[in-house]
Amino acid sequence: MFVEYFFVCIIESIFQKSLFEHQTTLNPNMPVRLLNYVTELFKIYLEPEKRKMYSSSLIQIPAPEFYVFYDGDDTSFERKILKLSDAFKAPSNKLELIVHVYNLATGKSEALKSICKPLREYSTFSNHYKLLRQQGLAIDEAVRDTIIYCIDNNVMKDYLQYNESEVINMFGFEWNEKEEREALLEAGEARGITIGEARERINSARKLLTQGIVTLQALQSSGYYSQEELAAIAKPL
């Protein structure tokens, strides 16, 4: 994927022993998730040494670091620290995992961006795209205009010139998913229902709409669906 390409570049170039996650929604459970990730990675890393696990000699392992690059709409912070110990039911310092969260919004984490060109360029692309979406452009139009802007300003120029259609498809898909998920969350919170229930309601109504059994106006007049649900129903599959 488009996003994955640039974060692989970052990992290979400067952060050989680190784990990264890219998010558009802050997740307080990242320390738990990354604990699972690093456990699986250590299992693979230690496979050749498994016979030494019960010996008297110390097996040395890489010292991992954990980072999240946040690319959402919250600009109230530049950096956050998430700790595994925050999830413990009782206070304890016996086990810890610290996750560094960096905000990629315009004007945030500039020191990090200044030393990491792939991250800086991805941030430029993403922030320009979000600006165009805020101005009312459709997803595909915003992606295309952002590609033109970045090529004109020598941002990811070679990659975008050779992978324009892939970027449009993948970036648009990721943000469509994000916006639909946010709509489901808003609808669920408003009505006290789960995301699964909200999705089922929306999919059922969307099926009736595409089959011509009902109109969007009829669904709206029924008063049964929230504005967020109606927006999700109206989106093409």
Query: Has residue 230 got a pLDDT over 60?
Result: yes
Residues 6+ apart with CB under 8 A from 11: 18, 20
Q: Give the three-class secondary structure for 194.
A: coil
> What are the start-end ranges of the E strands in 98-186?
98-103
CB-based contact 146:132 (threshold 8 Å): yes
pLDDT at position 13, please? Answer: 38
Of residues 229 and 52, more confidently modeled? 52
CB-based contact 219:209 (threshold 8 Å): yes
Report which of 125, 203, 213 is spatially closest to residue 163, judged by C-alpha positions. Answer: 125
pLDDT at position 229, please? Answer: 74
pLDDT at position 79, please? Answer: 93
Query: Has residue 98 got a pLDDT over 80?
Result: yes
* % of the chain beyond a pLDDT of 70: 70
pLDDT at position 78, please? Answer: 93
pLDDT single digits (tens) 151-199: 999 988 888 888 777 777 666 555 555 555 555 555 555 454 555 556 6
CB-based contact 81:97 (threshold 8 Å): no
Query: Has residue 105 got a pLDDT over 50?
Result: yes
pLDDT at position 91, please? Answer: 92
pLDDT at position 82, please? Answer: 95
Residue whose token pair is 């530049």:
78
